[in-house]
Amino acid sequence: MTVNFTVKTTLVGIALFLVAFVVLGSVSVVGWEVSNSNWFCTNACHQVHPEEPIAQSLSAHANINCVDCHIGRLSFFPAMIKKSSHVKHVWSILTGWERPTYAPSLGHVGNTCEGCHTEGTHKYNLLGSKSSFATDKDNTESRLTMTLRNVGRIFGGEDRRGMNWHTSGNVKFVATDPQKQNIELVEATLPGGEVVTYKSVKATMSDSDLASAERATMGCMDCHNRAGHPFRDPESVVDAAFASGELNRKLPYAKKFILDLFDTKVESREEAREVVDHAYATYREAYPDEVIQDPEASESARKFIEERKEFLTDLMVSSDFPEAEDVTWKSFPDNLGHKNFPGCFRCHSGRLQDDEGTPIPVNCSACHSLPLVTERDQIPAYYLALLDQKKPRNHRSPDWMSKHMDYLGDKKCSTCHEDIKFGVNDKTFCSNSGCHAPDWQYLDLSALRND
């Protein structure tokens, strides 16, 4: 039996095919775009842990799309292949995410961060200066200044490996937790090709387990892990507002008041907004005389709160999450620095040592200069005197901080330095409050002294 197709039938078939192609293609394109949108990410997925989108909206990367980091800036087909691997998250959407959450799906920095942050921008050391304010009546300001050694030392003939060396592919490590806070083994390939293995003297893993454990290669995101979703500690946020002039320092106990505001327990975002709405009235009731005596400063505080209601509300919610019991900003480690979280001290704490007991350097000056703490921007004479001094060879020992008294023997610090007076008043070398005032809870010098 022969079937004859007329020209009309053929044209109808072609037309139907083209219509179906256009419709299905359009639906596919729209579906692709919607599934890659921030709206989809933050509603279909992140509504079960809403702190992440809030933190992202308050970050320097607020205008960067979620998929630019979690898939990468890839061409269509590689992006589709990458996205197909996210099917594994469907179960988590149905059953719930871990709290706090972490992202194992970030792409290589070459496909994400380096689209903006080119290698050439990190070939210089940086001079950093940060103001902090006390919680006293005058909100007393002090400024900490230091050189951040991205590329290493410039003078002194010492090891010139700076912080950027960590991302050269020459550092591998074993961590025992998903957020990589507890590191128990590090393998470092030195510039001459020598491989040195450091093990934690307080390791929880056996030697055989460490030997067989998978090594992670250290990269940018091992330190900049919260670049897209920073949960900043409230104190740093308040200090930045004072330093920029958004908050007036003349207001008595202003820093203490705002920190107490962020510490207020709330049950919902609406309650947090209500607390912010009443913040200025609460302050006026607490300090009526000061408000009357300095109406200009008082008015600036009122405007600051009024104009930033949503910001302050977001900050309260991103500091303490009402819908998640026992989850606060402290639940999200930030590996930059070493004050609120282990950060640098994950490796440079003194616990990680080679077979001969030599640690990964714990000297602060390996990554930055000696901190300079000043008031009224006056540089102490003792600090200026250090600039022209050549550092003795024994000062370069990786455990100098812990064992300097042993290295000195019968000599005294005053042999080279002025008379030493210990303390935190910033009057002498050993009274530097940038070193001695903070509680370095993650530094373990006792591991070096076998205490």
Whether residue 177 is found in the same domain as residue 277: no
Residue ending a domain, among 289, 311, 331, is 331
Residue 391 — very low, low, confident or very high, per pLDDT cuts 50/70/90? confident
Is 375 a member of any domain? Answer: yes
Highest mean pLDDT among 90-94, 214-218, 254-258: 214-218
Side chain identity at 392, as an amino acid letter? P
What backbone torsions phi and psi does residue 83 show, to the nearest 5 degrees? Answer: -65, -30
Q: Is the pLDDT of residue 344 over 90?
A: yes
Identify the CA nearest to 242 among candidates 142, 137, 132, 319.
Answer: 132
Residue 322 — very low, low, confident or very high, per pLDDT cuts 50/70/90? low
Cα–chain-centroid distance for residue 232? 8
Whether residue 264 is found in the same domain as residue 395: no
Whether residue 213 is found in the same domain as residue 343: yes
Whether residue 287 is found in the same domain as residue 351: no
Whether residue 50 is found in the same domain as residue 191: no
Residue 355 — very low, low, confident or very high, per pLDDT cuts 50/70/90? very high
Whether residue 207 is found in the same domain as residue 262: no
Q: Over the stretch 226-259, which tens digit does the pLDDT of each residue have?
A: 888 888 888 888 898 888 887 778 788 888 888 8
Q: Over the stretch 257-300, which tens digit does the pLDDT of each residue have?
A: 888 887 777 777 788 888 888 887 888 888 787 777 777 777 77
- Predicted pLDDT at 187: 96
- Predicted pLDDT at 215: 92
Cα dist. 398→18, 153, 270, 324, 390 in Å?
71, 15, 52, 42, 17
Confirm if 449 and 403 have CB atoms less than 8 A apart: yes
Q: What span, in angstroms and rounded, lies between the C-alpha atoms of 239 and 142?
A: 11
Is 132 a member of any domain? Answer: no
Structure tokens at 198: 């450091």
Q: Which residues, including other chains, have CB under 8 Å from residue 319's CB and lie 6 or more apart?
A: 231, 234, 262, 328, 329
Confirm if 38 and 66 have CB atoms less than 8 A apart: yes
Which range marks the domain in which residue 40 is found?
36-115
- Predicted pLDDT at 4: 55
Whether residue 242 is found in the same domain as residue 297: yes
Highest mean pLDDT among 5-14, 167-176, 322-331, 428-437: 167-176
Q: pTM for the complete prediction?
A: 0.80
Residue 205 — very low, low, confident or very high, per pLDDT cuts 50/70/90? very high
Whether residue 347 is found in the same domain as residue 392: yes
Is 138 a member of any domain? Answer: no
Is 9 a member of any domain? Answer: no
Residue ending a domain, among 73, 96, 115, is 115
Residue 343 — very low, low, confident or very high, per pLDDT cuts 50/70/90? very high
Residue 213 — very low, low, confident or very high, per pLDDT cuts 50/70/90? very high
Whether residue 107 is found in the same domain as residue 244: no
Confirm if 53 and 45 have CB atoms less than 8 A apart: no
Q: How many domains does the chain have?
A: 3
**In this predicted model, which residue has the larger pLDDT, 291 or 166?**
166
Whether residue 341 is found in the same domain as residue 415: yes
Is 393 a member of any domain? Answer: yes
Residue 219 — very low, low, confident or very high, per pLDDT cuts 50/70/90? confident
Is 61 a member of any domain? Answer: yes
Q: What span, in angstroms and rounded, lies between the C-alpha atoms of 45 and 402?
A: 48
Whether residue 341 is found in the same domain as residue 417: yes
Residue 159 — very low, low, confident or very high, per pLDDT cuts 50/70/90? low
Three-state SS for 393-434 is HHHHCCCHHHHHHHHHCCCCHHHCCCCCCCCCCCCCHHHCHH
Mean pLDDT, range 141-156, rounded to an integer: 81
Q: Is the pLDDT of residue 413 over 90?
A: no
Residue ending a domain, among 331, 353, 384, is 331
Is 21 a member of any domain? Answer: no
Is 343 a member of any domain? Answer: yes
- 3-class SS of residue 168: coil
Whether residue 342 is found in the same domain as residue 442: yes
